Amino acid sequence: MTITRRNFLATAAAGGTAAAAACATLAPAGAEARESHKVPDNAVGLLYDATLCIGCKACMSACKEANDLPLEDTIGEKLWDTPLELSGKTYNVIKVYQSGTMENKDKAENGFAHIKRSCLHCADPSCVSACPVSAMQKRATDGVVTYNKDACIGCRYCVAACPFGVPQFQYDTPKPEIAKCQLCKHRMEQGKYAACAESCPTGATIFGSYAALSAEIDRRRAMKPGEPNLFPRRTPESGDMHEKAAPEYVDYVYGQKDAGGTQVRYLSGVAFDKLALPMGLPERAYAADSETLQHTLYGGMILPVVALAGLVTAAWRGSKDHHDDDEFDMFDHPEGGHK
């Protein structure tokens, strides 16, 4: 086994050249950081105004019916649908924040407030970026984040990746699916819209174009607290209005920018971290971070190909050196170990 210093240095030099070339390729590729995707032009979404929600759960019932979901029994009575959180059987759940005497609606102290949990339909969804088989997709037309069980392999990367804890896996069946709100895409095909918005008696949840909902959000935030105002039911344009004193909103529209922005947005009188929504998320989508990293390393497969060339050259030089001194056999010794 004679490895001369010259041979070794030559191989090391070849490897070093490959590495340098790799770094040179890496530098420009790294400059093209992927930006967060924006909300599509014709996006649709929901606006949930916690101050209008009375916790009747009509939306939950309508969601189960529209999506043909089974009841979930968490209290052992087997009479009511009683989900406590999103689950493999529940796409939409109304939860309640409680404090002290619970005298005041939509107040943090001695008050209570409702919150609707369902898919936020991110502008740049982590689940879509994570999914290795395109089962999670963001529709280019209206931005609905869809799920295709026929493509899904059940790896649960989407469940783990979602910053809002939305996609839910079914652990209790040998043929599991990911359970997640798809904004009633099947009803949209029939000219209808999200069942939760359609069934909401107070207009706490309304369905509409992203632009119309943005205008409605601006209108509500400009209202003077305590003064009577009109609020639409079902959709911003339904004309079905009811009058109510304007609430005192916290100065934050949840979903406007969080994790790159979402098409489902929230208004509330209570701080959102009390409503179990994660606060302090960056404005840049996590999907953009992840894909920038992947693109930097694997964009156009340039870096791997350059590295492969370097490695194969080094391995080839090694094998050539050894053949020259007639001692090298890659894995085997000429006489063989087998008797």
Report 130-169 residues binding another protein (CB under 8 A).
130-134, 149-157, 159-161, 163, 165, 168-169
12 binds another protein (CB under 8 A): yes
Told to check if 311 binds another protein by CB under 8 A, we report yes
Of the candidate spans 9-17, 44-52, 191-199, 219-227, the one that interacts with another protein by CB under 8 A turns out to be: 9-17
Taking the C-alpha atoms of residue 175 and residue 170, their distance in angstroms, rounded to an integer, is 8
Q: How far is the CB of 98 from another protein (least distance, A)?
A: 15
C-beta closer to another protein: residue 47 or 120:
120
Q: Is 3 in a helix, a strand, or coil?
A: coil
Q: How far apart are CA 31 and CA 231, in angstroms?
A: 47
- Exactly one of 126, 205, 209, 229 binds another protein (CB under 8 A); which one? 126
What residues from 283 to 302 belong to the interface with another protein (CB under 8 A)?
286-287, 289-291, 293-294, 297-298
- Residue choice 38, 109, 219, 328 for contact with another protein (CB under 8 A): 328
3-state secondary structure of 105: strand
User: Which residue in 33, 43, 29, 27 sits closest to 288, CA to CA?
Assistant: 33
Look at the block and give the residue holding tokens 């026929």: 150
Comparing CA positions, the residue from 45, 106, 107, 71 lying closest to residue 256 is 45
* Site size with another protein, rule: CB under 8 A: 83
Distance CA 64, CA 201 (A): 17
Residue 234 has what DSSP assignment? S
The least CB distance from residue 288 to another protein, in Å, is 10
**Where in 207-266 is the site for another protein (CB under 8 A)?**
259
Choose, by CB under 8 A, the member of 172, 189, 227, 251 that binds another protein: 172
Nearer to another protein, 8 or 80 (CB): 8
- Phi, psi at residue 249, to the nearest 5°? -85, 150
Footprint of another protein on 41-80 (CB under 8 A): none
Instruction: Using the rule CB under 8 A, give the single segment among 2-10, 53-61, 185-193, 244-252 that binds another protein.
Output: 2-10
Q: Which is nearer to another protein, 3 or 241 (CB)?
A: 3
Stretch that binds another protein, among 61-69, 81-89, 204-212, 215-223 (CB under 8 A): 81-89
DSSP string, 28-97: HHHH-PPPPPPPPTT-EEEEEETTT-----HHHHHHHHHTTPPP--SSS-SSS---SS-BTTBS-EEEEE
Contact 22, 310 (CB under 8 A): yes
Our CB check for another protein shows the closer of 175 and 224 to be 175
